[in-house]
Amino acid sequence: MRTYLDFEKPIADLEARLEETRKLAERTGVDVSDAVDILEKSIDKLQFEIFQNLTRWQRVQLSRHPDRPYTLDYIERMCDQFIELHGDRSVRDDPAMVGGFGEIGGQSVMIIGQQKGRNTKQRQHRNFGMPNPEGYRKALRLMQLAEKFNKPIITLIDTPGAFPGLEAEERGQGEAIARNLREMMTLKVPVICIVIGEGASGGALGIAIGDRVLMLENAWYSVISPENCSTILWRSWNYKEQAAEAMKPTARDMKQAGLIDGIVEEPIGGAHTDHAAMADILKTVILATLEELNALTPQERISQRIDKFCNMGVVLE
């Protein structure tokens, strides 16, 4: 059963009426095709109006939608083949970070991304998409493996942040992320990073240094969540909407600030309404971007990558 957010309730009401009309037709045999057509057009129009005028906070809510596709959902739909690889060869495997070799459109790639869970058991297993240090070390191991075999790297970012627990800090959470930042800068293969949901702080950045950094239309990318920002500034979560407006964490904001390279449009109603269509859109974007990056030499890619990130935050008088 589909989950509706607060601002989607008018759509939910119309879809409930549409379902009742169809059931009525099944029970009575009455032709209701005209009524169904009117309701479907009304739903499409309302959906378009709502999603064309979303606030920043509403986009943050969409990025966390329980029905939104996660990394493994995209892998399942985009890859003709996929072999998952496990472990960091030091501590253990981290289920919050998944990765392996896949084939997209006949091209072999390494796909890495954070993975959340659908239910309570899965969320506990995946640690709510918050990787431990071994997750980032696993990601780095897979990136270096891809470089060894000259395969492009695709990272899918969707995390509320790196796990902040004491044990994670004891095992070197900050060092693991910092090492990834350094090593990703000089990878010789094409690297495409895509924020598919939440892109929170260093937990996201740990797999987000690439030749092209893209964001889905309803994703967000920031050093802190609106709720935590509200807590720091106003000692309460009640001002999260104002915090989101001040933070400007959406894809459009990031593009205007020059912090990402492009925005991937979602189906009307959001990625959660049509996983297959969203995966097809993302697959097309990935293949087009890979074609563009494959035309450059490794040194050209590295130089452009370093220049791009070094120019972020620089103020010119």
Mean pLDDT value across residues 110-128:
96
The pTM of the full predicted model, rounded to 2 decimals, is 0.93
Length reported for the chain: 317
* Strand (E) or helix (H) holding 43: helix 33-52
* Residues 6 or more apart whose Cβ sits within 8 Å of residue 175: 133
Reported as a pLDDT band with limits 50, 70 and 90, residue 31 is confident
pLDDT of the residue at 314: 73
* b/e sequence 181-201, b meaning 16+ C-beta within 10 Å: beebeebebbbbbbbbbbbbb
Lookup result for tokens 């904001």: 253
DSSP 3-state of 300: helix
The CATH number fitting domain 60-310, selected from 3.40.50.300, 3.40.50.261, 3.90.226.10, 3.40.50.1820: 3.90.226.10
Q: How far apart are CA 33 and CA 160, in angstroms?
A: 45
Per mean pLDDT, which range of 18-32, 44-58, 190-204 is the poorest?
Answer: 18-32
Residues 6+ apart with CB under 8 A from 81: 102, 103
Q: Does 3 have pLDDT greater than 90? A: no
pLDDT at res. 142: 98
**Average pLDDT rounded to a whole number, residues 96-111:** 97
How many Å apart are CA 240 and CA 246, to the nearest integer? 10
Q: What is the pLDDT of residue 245?
A: 96
139/177 Cα distance (integer angstroms): 10
Average pLDDT, the chain: 94
What's the confidence (pLDDT) of residue 18? Answer: 86
* Mean pLDDT value of segment 281-286: 98
